[in-house]
Amino acid sequence: MAKVSVDSEYLKDVERARRELRALISNKNCAPIMLRLAWHDAGTYDVNTKTGGPNGSIRNEEEYAHGANSGLKIALEFCDIGCGNGNAAWIKAYFKELMNSYILKDISEQVKSKCPKITYADLYQLAGVVAVEVTGGPTVSFVPGRKDSKISPKEGRLPDANKGVPHLKEVFYRMGLSDKDIVALSGGHTLGRAHPERSGFDGAWTKEPLKFDNSYFQELLKGESEGLLKLSTDLALLDDPDFRRYVELYAKDEDAFFRDYAESHKKLSELGFTPPGAKTIVKDGTILAQSAFGVAVAAAVVIAGYLYEARKR
């Protein structure tokens, strides 16, 4: 596995990818499927064997053919279009079919490795982060450097929507996540819908499937909602008292949901990933600079005071 050198060139590529993803996801209103892609790549993690996780393995045909990943090929293609990885065989075939349409021809002309350095693992997780952002959700911190892997885990690691509390706990604890993570992450159902040809289920969970907010939890507590979907695994969140208290909190307090969601999403997106180097990127350099300034001034005054004292004696 090639080592990912997160140098300034790589970081520039990441920012370029971030902007391309914003345009693509906003334009095509495809935030839900991009979020699902990120989650399904990461959610195969096994904390005991340290296998699976956010490593781009979902690109492998054997993995995107898993039942749980039905429909995700579209998201894989979008990411390739957005970041101009024109080498992918399916992209060449896809564009060959659609060459007549001049709009796509132009996109394919622009598809010239706009972001050649970024790994697929980083790209898919960045897509998930951007999907949450452009639909009005919290800012999820993104640290680049994930390596790509060609090794796909066996089918069956992602949750089964027909099951209940013990299954949810089994699957998520295996990843190394907690009860709070389970409930917060389920809030991702604020976006999107289920499709009969994919999962067999049909419909959206909330009234505005392109708006990231806490309405998923409000609808859950309402019980039966006309025309809205509730999977067994959604209802399970009400059955278990450990889960239920978070549902009630998030239904009442959107800021609390956003705060916990951002934390859980980041955790999920970094399962099995140790950011390269122990460099802590000080994001808010201004706070640091101001504090340093203040401390320096205070120290200078105290020292001046002591010198004055000393001289007097």
Partner 1 sequence: MAEREYEKETERARRDLRALISSKNCAPIMLRLAWHDAGTYDAKTKCGGPNASIRNQAELNHAANAGLNIAIQLCEEVKAKNPRISYADLYQLAGVVAVEVTGGPTIDFVPGRKDSMASPEEGRLPDAKQGASHLRKVFNRMGLSDQDIVALSGGHTLGRAHRERSGFEGPWTRDPLKFDNSYFVELLKGDSKGLLKLPTDNVLVEDPEFRKYVILYAEDEEAFFRDYAASHKRLSELGFSPPSYLGLLIKKTMITAAVAVTVVLLSYFYEMNKRDSSK
What is the set of active-site residues? 40
Is residue 2 within 8 Å of residue 18, measured between CB atoms? no
Is residue 58 within 8 Å of residue 37, measured between CB atoms? yes
Report 30-59 residues binding partner 1 (CB under 8 A): 31
Report 270-289 residues binding partner 1 (CB under 8 A): 286
Q: Does 297 bind partner 1 (CB under 8 A)?
A: yes
CB of 71 vs partner 1, minimal distance in Å: 20
Q: Does 118 bind partner 1 (CB under 8 A)?
A: no
Dist. CA 217–CA 214, nearest whole Å: 6
Q: Does 103 bind partner 1 (CB under 8 A)?
A: yes
Nearest to 142 by CA among 300, 6, 286, 296: 6
Which SS3 state, helix, strand or coil, does residue 208 take? coil
Q: Does 119 bind partner 1 (CB under 8 A)?
A: no
Return the axis-axis angle of helices 102-110 and 89-97, rounded to nearest 10°: 150
In Å, how far are 224, 291, 293, 299, 307 from 304, measured between CA atoms? 71, 20, 16, 8, 5
Residue closer to partner 1, measured from CB, 24 or 165: 24
Residue closer to partner 1, measured from CB, 27 or 49: 27
Buried b (16+ CB within 10 A) or exposed e, 8-46: eebeebbebbbebbeebbeeeebbbbbbbbbbbbbbbbb
Q: Which of 137, 153, 159, 192 binds partner 1 (CB under 8 A)?
A: 137
Q: Segment near partner 1 (CB under 8 A), from 129-137, 157-165, 180-188, 233-241?
A: 129-137
Residue closer to partner 1, measured from CB, 210 or 229: 210
Q: Which of 4, 14, 25, 183 binds partner 1 (CB under 8 A)?
A: 25
In Å, how far are 9, 24, 48 from 34, measured between CA atoms? 25, 11, 28
In Å, how far are 186, 208, 241, 254, 258 from 137, measured between CA atoms? 14, 13, 27, 10, 7
Q: Does 294 bind partner 1 (CB under 8 A)?
A: yes
Q: Which residue has the tokens 């389970």?
A: 182
Residue closer to partner 1, measured from CB, 161 or 210: 210
Q: Does 19 bind partner 1 (CB under 8 A)?
A: yes
CB of 21 vs partner 1, minimal distance in Å: 8
Dist. CA 237–CA 105, nearest whole Å: 47
Convert residues 234-273 into a mask of x (bound to partner 1 by CB under 8 A) and - (unbound): ----------------------------------------
Positions in the binding site for partner 1 (CB under 8 A): 19-20, 22-27, 29, 31, 103, 106-107, 133-138, 210-212, 286, 290, 293-295, 297-298, 301-302, 304-305, 309
